[in-house]
Every structure is written in structure tokens, then in C-alpha cells.
Structure 1
């Protein structure tokens, strides 16, 4: 009884009815602030925040690396073409060797015609077709190899290729003015390898249009 009475006496007295409810400062400090917890904004986990920050900081760098100038574009374009042309040699040899191996293993009977033609003629045409297939496959494989070795510029080169095509299509002469006497010079801009070549190409297109207009005036 003495212990229970001492505990009851040690508790703080309840405030009287009608008076303001006041708690000790220490008690308020010990309790969590519910209003602060409810107003906290939603945030992503620390790992995601760091990753997004890293991605945001690295985005300008990647865009800067991907962007190339026109001089760099023409230089990389020449390298890509050279790679595509060099790849045509092994692909042509490979298709010819495969086709020749297959045809040599077959028994050729000159008396049995193939579609009404001599078998040797058909096999010769087949070998030519194998060589042409190698020539066509070579640039595709070469372009893929170039992209693998130039991943840093592959996407930028695609954008530059499209932009370059738009420049060519917008500034070249009217195809309807093409004739044997006045052919359109470099219709697709394949011979343009530098900015100076592009300026020369523009002058040639302008000269072609002037010449075509002059001939049209003469005919009228």
C-alpha cells in the first residue's frame, strides 16, 4: 500500500476542467511531431536518386560526345565507305567458294537440260549470282562492323546522314530537267567528301538549272 500510494503521488496532477491543456516541454519534445511526418514529400530511394543524378549529369557529356561537325562527318563517312568496300572482298570470295564447293560436289550430266538450257551455262550463271551476292552482302557487313567499332558516333552519324540527305534533296536540280545533253551532276551527292566539295556541288547544280532554263527558253 505504501508503494502504490507513493507511485500515485508521483504522477502529475490532471488539469482542472475548463482549463487549458498544458503538457510539460520535455513531454512534447519526446513525442513525435505528426504534422511534420505527414508533410514530408515523397522521395525516391537513395540509390535511384544517385542514379538519376548521375544520369542527368552525364547526359550533357553524352550529347556532346555524340555530336560531330560536318568536317568530322565527311571524314567518318569516308572511313565507313572504305570499310564497306574492303569487306566486299572477303564476302565475295566466301560466297564464290561456297557456291563452287556445292556445284563441284554435284554430278553434271550434259544430256539432262535444266529449264531447257545447258547445265554448264546454268552453273556458270549460278556462280556469277554467288559473286554478286557477296558484293551485295559486303557493304552490309562492313557497315555493321564500322558501327561496332564506332559506337560513340553511330547515332550521330545516322542523324547527320539524314540531315545531309535533306540538304541534297532540297538543293539539287529538278530531275525533270535531266537529259542526255544536260545530265544532273552527282544526283545523290556521292562524290561530296568535304565542305569545299559541297560548295562545288551547289555551283554545279545552279549551273545545271541555268543551263536547263536556257535550253527551255530556246525551245520556246
Structure 2
């Protein structure tokens, strides 16, 4: 998609999505919403992993016949088997946490969600178009933030672009020797 086509599409989205005079989501607001969504996901992962671990611990400690079933599945010492099962429950809680966090975040930010979705698609399109080819990666030249996960502001995006260009220059060997 060319830049002119992208601008025309963005203008048509602005015209159809917003009545005149309504505030449009700018990039800085988009990045702050993106950061808040990530925090909701992290907080819900922590809470759900603690909750699922607590439920698993209570269930395993109150059901003595569970120890026999677990040791049949995991043929080790019952304490180690229960520890593995408790760790698995914690991991499951960590994995299901973002589902709840993103749902709560969407409920709180319902009014800005359509704008956010459009801006997020445009952002990921930019990331996809400007990221480097990871084929030139090595231990001395690792790929810089391939998915753009660490970008938290417009300045961060510009820094990400500079890092992508620097990676390409290093990969192509256009740095003078000695640097």
C-alpha cells in the first residue's frame, strides 16, 4: 500500500467514523491505550495465576485420593508430583489471565475501541513494512524488536526505525571496519 493510498484510506476512515468536531485518536493516545491494555493483561495474569494456584492447592490438599491418581500419572515422589501439578496450574492461570484482562480493558475503553482497532491495524502494517529480514541475525547482530512490542511512544517508534536501519547496515557490512 503506497503512502498516498494509506492517507486516503485514513482520511476516509476519519470521515466515516467520527462526526465533525469529535476528537480523533492520535498516535500518543494510541500508545498510552496500548500500554494500559498491556498492564491490564499483566495484572490479570498475576491475579489469575494466584487464584488458580490457590484453587489447585486447596483441591489437592483436601482430596487425599488425588495424590494416588497424580502419582499414577507422574511416577515420582508424591510431593514432587503435587509440586509439578501446582506449577502447571500456576502456568495455566498465567496463560488465561490476558483473556480476562483484555476483556475488562475493552469494557472500560468501549468508546475508543473502533478508533483503537483501526490505529492498531495501521501500526502493525507499518511494523510489517519496515521491519528487517531476520536472516542476517547472529549473536553479534541480533534482530532488534522484530514485532515492535517495546514501542511505547512516537519517539520509541522512531528509535525502532533507526534500530531497523542500523541492523540492515550492519548486515550488509556498510559500516567501516573498526566500528
TM (normalized to structure 1)?
A: 0.64
Q: CA deviation at 1:63?
A: 10
Aligned partner of 1:96 in structure 2 is: 53
Partner Cα separation in structure 2 for residue 187 and residue 59 of structure 1: 31
SS at match of 2:19: helix
Unaligned runs of 5+ residues in structure 1 are 1-57
Partner Cα separation in structure 2 for residue 76 and residue 189 of structure 1: 15
CA contact (8 A) 1:96 1:127 kept: yes
C-alpha RMSD over aligned residues = 2.5
Aligned partner of 2:13 in structure 1 is: none
Larger Rg: 1 or 2?
1
CA contact (8 A) 1:113 1:119 kept: no
Unaligned runs of 5+ residues in structure 2 are 1-15
SS at match of 1:117: coil
- The verdict on how the C-alpha distance between 1:83 and 1:59 changes in structure 2, with shifts beyond 3 A counting, is closer
Q: CA deviation at 1:139?
A: 1.5
TM (normalized to structure 2)?
A: 0.78
Aligned partner of 2:6 in structure 1 is: none
Kindly provide the CA deviation profile for residues 116-174 of structure 1, in whole angstroms up to 9, marking residues without a partner as x. Answer: 32222221111111111111122111111010011011122122222111111110111
Partner Cα separation in structure 1 for residue 117 and residue 54 of structure 2: 34
Greater length-normalized contact order (CA 8 Å, ≥ 6 residues apart): 2
Aligned partner of 1:160 in structure 2 is: 119
Please, which of 36, 56, 59 is the counterpart of residue 79 of structure 1? 36
Please, which of 178, 181, 189 is the counterpart of residue 137 of structure 2? 178
Q: 1:61 aligned to 2:19?
A: yes
Partner Cα separation in structure 1 for residue 73 and residue 96 of structure 2: 28
Structure number having the greater helix percentage: 2
Aligned partner of 2:165 in structure 1 is: 206
